[in-house]
Amino acid sequence: MSLTDDEWADLDAPSSADASGPAAATSTEEPQGRGGKPRGKKRGKRKKKETPQLVFATVNEFVTDYLAPTIRRNLEGKEHAWCPSWWRHPEAVQRLTAVWRAWESLRLDAAVGMSVWWLQHCDPHLRALMDPNTGPLAACRPTKHSAYAYAPLPLEAADPSLWLSPSLSAAPTASESTEST
């Protein structure tokens, strides 16, 4: 964290001990560093960490302005699937939102952020999205949207008592925990 000019001025300002000379210093004062400046705690107001501004306001903006122009794949064969209406596929929206959010966060890491983003986020999600056999875009073609390739996962209702374990459910609220006693 770097200090502002005002914070540096606070560090350079003479303390009451400086006004009386070095003999007036007591053991209850902060330890002195080079040039009589206090060591340890920094004086001055600390600024709250600001949340960085997003580069892209929406996942659609991220896909349209960054991802689609960046990703180049042969879509003519049967190795990759893509849908120009990717936003009609809930799984694609979820995965591309995760890729976008990870990009927004990792772009701030100048050392390895983009490498981590490509290897741990973008590549795995693109493999799943663009898989022509099992991906959510498998029924689509690069030039047109089609109905879903597969039906949603089948489900059977679970016994509600299964979810009573604290490891499988949200922590009880204060009112719920007092009702049980």
pLDDT tens-digit profile of 12-23? 444 444 444 444
Is the whole-model pTM more than 0.75?
Answer: no
Q: How do residues 44-56 score in pLDDT, each as one tens digit?
A: 666 677 888 999 9
- pLDDT over 80 at 108, yes or no: yes
Q: How do residues 78-97 score in pLDDT, each as one tens digit?
A: 899 999 999 999 999 999 99
- Pair of tokens at residue 79: 């190795």
- pLDDT over 80 at 122, yes or no: yes
> Pick from 61, 125, 59, 127: which is nearest to 95 by CA?
125
pLDDT of residue 1: 42
- pLDDT over 90 at 60, yes or no: yes
Element (H, E) at 81: none
Listing DSSP states for 115-166 in one string gives HHIIIIIIHHHHHHHT-TTTSTTTT-BTTB--S-SSPPPP--PPPGGGGGSG
User: Could you give the 3-state DSSP secondary structure of residue 111?
Assistant: coil
- Pair of tokens at residue 131: 């898989």
Question: Considering only 29-43, 63-77, 92-106, 162-176, which range has the smallest mean pLDDT?
Answer: 29-43
- Pair of tokens at residue 179: 């009702």
Give the position of tokens 């893509």.
Answer: 82
